[in-house]
Structure 1
Amino acid sequence: MHAPFFGIKIIDLSAVVSGPMAAGLLADQGAHVIKVETPKGDLTRVIGPARGDISTLFTAINRGKRSIVLDLKHPDGAQVLRELVDEADVLIENFRPGALDRLGFSYAAVAAYNPRLVYLTISGFGHTGPYADYRVYDPVIQAVSGFADAHPNPETGAPQLLQTLLCDKITALTAAQAIGAALHARHETGRGQKVELSMLDAALAFVWPEAMYNHTALAAGVQPVPEFGANQKLWRARDGWFAMITPQNEEFASMCRALGVPQLIDDERFLSIPQRRVNMPAMRALIEPLVATEAVDDLIARLGAAGVPIGKVNHKHQLFDDPQVKANAILQETDQPVLGRLRLPRPAARFSAVGPDAAPAAAPHLGEHTCAILRELGRTDAQIEMLLSNGAALAQQPLAVA
């Protein structure tokens, strides 16, 4: 059986991470994605280890796509895009607000000739408001959305940035889900629609439930409680670090028994979840010396078997050898042009009707499929040569690597 989005054609006009990753997730699930790039190419082509015009970051979020290069300011390039959009099910863009409209590809313009199109537009802050025209990257959204404040430095309390592109990826996941919802609505109504998504909205909605629970109830008399993550700290064993959390009474009791301190189960400071939250410093003072002398693997095995939620901190280079990571077969190795042997995660969701996991597909070179796509649109070789010579399109063959 085909993958879930087989037969869905997506025109990916987006760049960097949020939009491309959303389109990449749908490509993983069977969609036919055409990545439309400028002659300069996507910025992520040069971020991370790279050979030629392919980087490892670019590969991870653009695998399985085809690439065409068009100059949308050139009338002939714009005409090619119109023909691609006319045949598409989905368009994804993250231009600055108004930029695509000025090029003639507003939702109203394209819906006039393709009313079934799902048109997803991603912005940093939204299309209106005081920040709408600001340039945005992930750290900016971490700051404004409250993520930086929700993950303070444990020693100083100062807000700090997470060292991953968290808000970009949250936006990508939200975008992919929204596209699926809009396609389902189209199945019911026969019509597409415009879907607006800002990185700020996606990040704020994501961080809200637990990070903002003290700012949710507006009625008088609802008392604040300690911040959800205030006591979330790693534990240190003799030879490594681990995470352990025991919110439920039975989990706390199991931890106490496994560590040889059953008397703490009936200690009045630790009898309930709220009491343990308030008295966490006292509890850690009692538990930390016990675990500090033991090997981390021994602790994981003993406490995990006792029903205690626990996991060892894997450093990046240790992930590949983790027995559960191996059991899940989440990481796959494949030979790909230019970069050679690569290790990449398979799509996280597995569909029982699809069959065995396929090896990750290659990411495209800049303009690698320009000529093929133009032929599919009915252009002759002479017409393609004219588009290339006048700068409306660009085609590039895979780069040779010594």
Structure 2
Amino acid sequence: MSLAGNDESRLTGCFAGLRVLDFSTTIAGPHCARMLADMGAEVIKIESVEGETMRTRPPVRHGCSTAFGQLNVGKKSVVLDLKSPDGVGAVRRLVAAADVLVENFRPGVMQRLGLDFAALSALNPRLIYCSISGYGQTGPSAELPAYAPVIHAASGYDMAHLSYQPGRSRPDYCGIYHADVVTGTYAFGAIASALYQRERSGRGQHIDCSMLESMLSLTLNEVQWSQFTVAQPSRPTFGPAACRDGYVMIAIASEKTFQNLMSVIGQADWVDDPRFAKYSDRRANWGALMDGVEAWSGRLSVAECLDRLNAGGVPSSAYRSVAEALADPQIAHRGALADVEDAAGSFKVVNLPFRMSEARVAAGPRAASLGEHTADILREAGVIAPGKH
């Protein structure tokens, strides 16, 4: 979906003409390369003969995973054996015409294959080579195995989150992989920055992206609080407020929203109450404040509560399932979901969360079958002779 008033047929992707070699697996690297594909780049996914591990992740229909499709739609699939001289030779031919390479193997793997930055930049000095790893390419933890749940724990994120759950001491289970998505997005930004610098310098470079540091960037307050002694509020600042038939989230993040909320709940005099008038006092007495809010919200249904909060200019929401969020008319208005296909049929994926007035930003139409483009890409690179398969 383009911005209002634009003729979408005239738009092209910001990275049209860019060729990306995607060696990555699972989530972080594929997410990064999918963003590049959505922005118009030609992304060639290099897979083993067994196929990338996400191809077997549910939901699977007739052998095709939509989880894989969500991360890899719009890419081409080429099967190569990177442990064979022929496979390495093919990569070297492909690198000669590539702009970007993305990989998320454990540090040292690409070097052992003879496909590290030093080896490949000698073939193509303009190559931007992005390495994503758990802890970074060097240092005492560099070669430790890592997946997102491990990084959540190692970064302090899980314990920081737990500190907002009163009366609990056991960390939460992990099912949503923030580290992968955040790191993949940082890698995308670094690649875009390196492309801009290359326009001026004519040279590519190596990007070393750490999942551990990416997760630390999410704990904005905690990074500061860990250096100093900061009093914690008597109740976590943001949490569910009970209604008659469920819960709502109310976010009081400014003086204006605090004043609006007090007006909505019929406690306008609390704006000048010494317990709540200043932010520091309000924070210290947060439990008493929210007890007063719940004395009001507990008499109302979720729908009634939201109607009054929205009318009063108070940021708030019901707690929705993902399915409920996807059904929001705002999602349809924004064109946030794209219909795509794979060999098993059609499904929906989430588009990138931004629109551009002069560029097309959209998921590709199809998730490739394993090795679907091998012959065409290798023939184009001169690895196999014309007419051969």
Query: Would you call these one fold, judging by a TM-score over 0.5?
Result: yes
Aligned alpha-carbon RMSD (Å): 2.0
Instruction: Supply the distance in 2 between the matched residues of 1:49 and 1:234 (Cα, whole angstroms).
Output: 31
1:183 aligns with 2:188: no
Q: Does 1:361 align with 2:365?
A: yes
Alignment of 1:288-307 (within 5 A): 288-307=294-313
For 1:397, the equivalent position in structure 2 comes to none
Q: 2:207 matched to which residue of 1?
A: 195
CA contact (8 A) 2:234 2:286 kept: no
Aligned to 1:214: 225
- Candidates 354, 357, 361, aligned match of 1:349: 354
Does 2:129 match 1:129? no
State how far apart, in whole Å, the 2-side matches of 1:335 and 1:107 are: 34
Cα deviation 1:248-304 (Å, max 9, x = unaligned): 222112111111222322221111111111111111111112102212222222212
CA distance 1:139–1:8, shift in 2 (3 Å): same
Verify the 8 A CA contact 1:143 1:161 in the aligned structure 2. Answer: no
Q: Is 1:5 matched with 2:15?
A: yes
**Alpha-carbon deviation of 1:92?**
0.7
Structure 1 residue runs of 5 or longer lacking an equivalent are 218-222, 386-402
312-321 vs 71-80, which moves further: 312-321
1:374 alignment counterpart: 378
Following superposition of structure 1 onto structure 2, how do residues 1-400 of structure 1 map, counting pairs within 5 Å? 1-152=11-162, 153-204=165-216, 206-216=217-227, 223-226=229-232, 230-332=236-338, 334=339, 336-354=341-359, 360-378=364-382, 379-380=384-385, 384-385=388-389
**Percent identity among equivalent residues?**
36
**Cα contact 1:344–1:360 (8 A) shared by 2:** no
Contact 1:210-1:228 within 8 A present in 2 as well: no
Contact 2:63 2:344 in 1 (8 A): no
Aligned-pair CA distance for 1:53: 4.4
Which moves more between the two structures, 86-95 or 151-160?
151-160
Deviation at 1:229, TM superposition (A): 9.1
CA–CA separation in structure 2 for the residues paired with 1:373 and 1:11? 11
In structure 2, what is the Cα distance between the partners aligned to 1:338 and 1:118?
32
Following the alignment from structure 1 to structure 2, what is the Cα–Cα distance between the partners of residues 186 and 125?
A: 26
Alpha-carbon offset, residue 359 of structure 1:
6.2
Compute the TM-score of the two structures, normalised by the length of structure 2.
Answer: 0.91
For 1:390, the equivalent position in structure 2 comes to none
Q: Deviations over 1:69-128 (max 9, x none)?
A: 100111111111101111000011111111111111121111111000001111111233
Conserved in 2, the CA contact under 8 Å of 1:247 and 1:273? no
Amino acid across the alignment from 2:260: S
Decide which moves more: 77-86 or 121-130. Answer: 121-130
Q: What's the offset of the Cα at 1:158?
A: 3.5
Structure 1 CA distance for aligned equivalents of residues 61 and 348 of structure 2: 16
Match of 1:392 in 2: none
CA distance in 2, matches of 1:133, 1:291: 51
Residue 313 of structure 1 deviates from its aligned partner by 1.6
Select between 136-145 and 303-312 the one with higher mean Cα deviation.
303-312
CA distance in structure 1 between the partners assigned to 2:54 and 2:368 by the alignment: 12
- How far residue 215 of structure 1 moved from its aligned partner, in angstroms, is 2.3
SS at match of 2:218: helix
- The amino acid across from 2:271 in the alignment is I
1:399 aligned partner: none
Q: 2: distance between equivalents of 1:15 and 1:361?
A: 21
Change (3 A) 1:286 1:349: same
Is the 2:234–2:284 contact (alpha carbons within 8 Å) kept by the matching residues of 1? Answer: no
- The DSSP-based 3-state class of the residue aligned with 1:270 is coil
* Structure 2 residue matching 1:268: 3-state secondary structure: coil
Paired residue secondary structure (1:269): coil
| Aligned AA (2:167) | E
| Mapped partners of 1:160, 1:288: distance in 2 | 26
Task: Label 1:158 to 1:213 Cα distance change in 2 as closer, same or farther (>3 A).
Answer: farther
1: CA distance between counterparts of 2:286 and 2:12?
A: 51
SS in 2 for 1:6: coil
The one-letter code of the counterpart of 1:367 is G
Letter in structure 1 aligned against 2:357: S
How far apart in 2 are the matches of 1:140 and 1:228? 30
Q: Amino acid of the residue matched to residue 127 of structure 1?
A: Q
Post-superposition shift, 1:360? Answer: 4.5
CA distance in 2, matches of 1:229, 1:369: 56
Structure 1 residue 345: Cα displacement: 1.6
Distance 1:141 1:227, change over 3 A: farther
Whole-Å separation in 2 of the counterparts to 1:84 and 1:56: 28
Matches of 2:321 and 2:44, distance apart in 1: 36
CA distance in 1: counterparts of 2:287 and 2:198, whole angstroms? 54
